[in-house]
Amino acid sequence: MTLARIKNHVRPGQVYDVTNHYITRTDHPAFGTTRRTVTRTTASRIYLAYTGGGESGIDWPRAAQASMDPGGVIQLRGGGAGQQPDDLFLTLTPVREETGGE
């Protein structure tokens, strides 16, 4: 899938479990996997809100560094300082709403 299609797929209000593969400090608010909500997107960034408040912007990578599987899981590569272009940076796993139906 192209980066343009991935960008068009990500919309404000969507909720993702975001796994940060770059940050290793356990006291950092983005360490591990955090539930985040897309607040806005631009041509160059995606903005995600933390559950407890606050927002952070993440640069969209180059086209070759972004992928999305058929289930909507997005992987961004090379976004951390000093990372190689193919190093996994973030995984955004969509949170599916519970329907409660039978």
The residue range of the domain holding 25 is 3-94
> What is the tens place of the pLDDT at every residue in 30-48?
667 889 999 999 999 999 9
Indicate the number of domains in the chain: 1
Q: Is residue 24 part of a domain?
A: yes
Q: Is residue 8 part of a domain?
A: yes
Q: Identify the three-state secondary structure at position 5.
A: helix
Instruction: Look at residue 39 in the predicted model and tell me its pLDDT.
Output: 97
Compute the distance between CA of residue 56 and CA of residue 18 in angstroms, rounded to an integer.
12
Give every residue of the chain whose pLDDT is below 70, as ranges: 25, 28-31, 97-102
Question: Within 13 A of 41's CA, how many CA atoms are on the CB side?
Answer: 15
Residue pair 15/95 in contact (Cβ under 8 Å)? The answer is: yes
Supply the pTM of this predicted model.
0.84
Q: Is residue 99 part of a domain?
A: no
